[in-house]
Structure 1
Amino acid sequence: MPKVALMYALVAVLGWGLAPLFDKFLARELSPWTIVLIRTFAAMVIITIYAIASGAVAELRALPEKSISPWLIIGAAMASAMLGGLIGQMAHYHALSMADASRVVPITSTYPLIASLAAIAVYREPLTWPKVGGALLIVIGVVLVSGVLTKGTEVPQ
């Protein structure tokens, strides 16, 4: 796997791994459908800014007020959209465009490990032996499946 593909895959892991922190924050106040709507809307804001910079124009609407500041909702949704919806997906597709899916996808699919570690740190969720064991299995599985440490050991066809 090219090093740049590995880099993009790892950027995708970080993006997808950290976005759930903002989603959990939103889930304290909003329904899942509303979160999806706001997250998608936030992604559109980011895409619209990029589109405006490149010549496209879009119309944006305001969010209804909730018990928390609309700016916190917008900020958390935009952070989640940026990390998971934009950075993670774009890095994932970049990695896929440069390397085999059978090597990229296992790496990018380790984002639950990042989300778990971040939730333990940010939300003080308990660290248990099953979580530690699961994390180790994720790392071992990715190393084995992705071929990161086994270059040149492909099965002959």
Structure 2
Amino acid sequence: MEKKVLILWLLTILFWGVSPVIEKIGLRSVEPLLALFIRTSAALLAISLTLFLSPSISLSSLNFKNVGILSLSGILAGFLGMLTYFSLLKAKNASQIVPLTSTYPLVATLLAVLFLKEELNFYKILGTTFVVVGIYLLFKS
């Protein structure tokens, strides 16, 4: 694995690992929809500043189709997925909810094989099996 990919991977798991703990604390006295609004507003501000300060971003690659597809993704994952996740996180333990909701790669893999015609090989099947076993063990705890 090249060094840049390794660093980005480690930063990603660090950011995503710390975030649920912070969110669980923030959700103690705040309703999920309001918490999501605050979180998303802060993210929008950070993204906007980064976008406007980045000289390499070109808006010329945007078209109606791209904007529509990315908007749909934002509504599904960024709004509806996060709202249901925050509702779960407020109601249950972060140590159970985070791993259980992190099983979305099962859905993504299935849809990628069906609609994007991606290859389904031994390693994907084995990995999927491990995820299913992990889900089972979490439900037993």
For this structure pair, what is the TM-score category when the shorter chain's length is used for normalisation? 0.5 to 0.7
- The answer to whether residue 97 in structure 2 is matched with residue 131 in structure 1 is no
Structure (1 or 2) with the greater helix fraction: 2
Q: What does residue 81 of structure 2 align with?
A: 88
Structure 1: gaps spanning 5 or more residues: 1-39, 45-62
Aligned to 1:86, the other structure's residue is in SS state helix
Distance, in Å, in 1 between the alignment partners of 2:133 and 2:80 is 25
Q: What does residue 109 of structure 2 align with?
A: 116
Aligned to 1:124, the other structure's residue is in SS state coil
Q: What is the CA distance between 1:65 and its match in structure 2?
A: 4.1
Structure 2: gaps spanning 5 or more residues: 1-39, 45-57
Instruction: Report the residue type matching 1:75 in the other structure.
Output: G
Q: What is the CA distance between 1:75 and its match in structure 2?
A: 0.7
1:106 to 85, 99, 111: 99
Instruction: Report the residue type matching 1:140 in the other structure.
Output: V
Structure 1 runs (4+) deviating above 6 angstroms are none
Aligned to 2:82, the other structure's residue is in SS state helix
Distance, in Å, in 2 between the alignment partners of 1:112 and 1:93 is 19
User: In the TM superposition, what whole-angstrom CA distance separates every residue of 1:69-110 from its partner, at most 9, and x where no partner exists?
Assistant: 711011111111012111111111100111111221111001
Structure-2-length-normalised TM-score: 0.55
Distance, in Å, in 1 between the alignment partners of 2:59 and 2:92 is 43
Distance, in Å, in 2 between the alignment partners of 1:81 and 1:123 is 20
How many residue pairs are counted as aligned between the two chains?
A: 87
Contact 1:120–1:126 (CA<8 Å) still a contact in 2? yes
Q: What is the CA distance between 1:64 and its match in structure 2?
A: 3.8
Within 5 Å, give how 1:1-157 maps onto structure 2. 64-66=59-61, 70-145=63-138, 147=139, 150=140
Query: How well do the aligned residues superpose, as a CA RMSD in angstroms?
Result: 2.3
Structure-1-length-normalised TM-score: 0.49
